[in-house]
Amino acid sequence: MFKRPVLAAALLIGLVGAASADVSITSESGAWKTIAGTATDGKTVCGAEIIGQDRILLIKWFAGVDGLIIQIAKTGWNIPDGQQVDVLFQFDQLAPWRARAVGVQGTSATGSRVEFRIQGDDITGFIDQLRLASHMSVAFPSGSERPWSASLKGSNIAIVHMMQCVRSVVAARSSQPSGVAPSQPGPNVSQPFTPASPVGRPAAPFSGPPAPPYSPRSVEGDI
């Protein structure tokens, strides 16, 4: 069974706000887990996660929010709120996907995170590659953080379970008589961005391939 290391558990607490949220693991498959529950703002959340000793990557869907939210965190990151961070995903040898993520300042216990949203037609392509590929690399070309390497063993089952959760929530919400509209949307520690980069909200949070190539062989660690 894939256990959650202590540091990764602290990261997850920061990402879901465990003190006031009710989110739990609903299934495990290979290196991946499925999560479901209620977020700190009361929204129902369905998701999938993969974790390492000091890092975590989560894919989340929130009821009433358009698209999927990708959150990436690592202990030791210190990212200002709103800092733009370039992120590249590559599945097997397919063309990389490029995301313009936004930094979210964390605590000393959890570290900072970056997150971005995938919307529209991009969702299907990204999810299909996540489900069907055997390997994923995550790179941060604008910072000193070296690329990560992640196993996709079990990702297909995890994503299927996540989408089953989404469908059940959507079905339950659509059957309700309510007319209320849904809500809208350290010095030597490696970082996923260059501090001199401009701060601000990204104009285009996600775009599909092509993206500049990078080498997934030079990895700092697995997740």
Residue carrying structure tokens 């070296």 = 146
Please tell me which of 51-55, 180-184, 188-192 the model is most confident about, judged by mean pLDDT: 51-55
Task: Tell me, yes or no, if the pTM score tops 0.85.
Answer: no
- Position 26 scores a pLDDT of 93
Residue 49 has pLDDT above 70, yes or no: yes
CATH architecture of residue range(s) 6-172+200-215: Sandwich (2.60)
pLDDT band at residue 14 under the 50/70/90 scheme:
low
Q: Nearest CA to 99 among 81, 86, 83?
A: 86
Q: Nearest CA to 149 among 52, 49, 32?
A: 52
Domains of the chain, residue spans: 6-172+200-215
Distances (CA, A) of 45 to 49, 52, 134: 13, 22, 26
pLDDT band at residue 202 under the 50/70/90 scheme:
very low
C-beta separation of 110 from 159 below 8 A? no
Q: Which residue has the higher pLDDT, 197 or 77?
A: 77
Residue 132 has pLDDT above 70, yes or no: yes
Average pLDDT of the residues in 212-216? 34
pLDDT band at residue 195 under the 50/70/90 scheme:
low
Q: Nearest CA to 4 among 80, 55, 38, 78?
A: 55
Please tell me which of 5-9, 36-40, 191-195 the model is most confident about, judged by mean pLDDT: 36-40
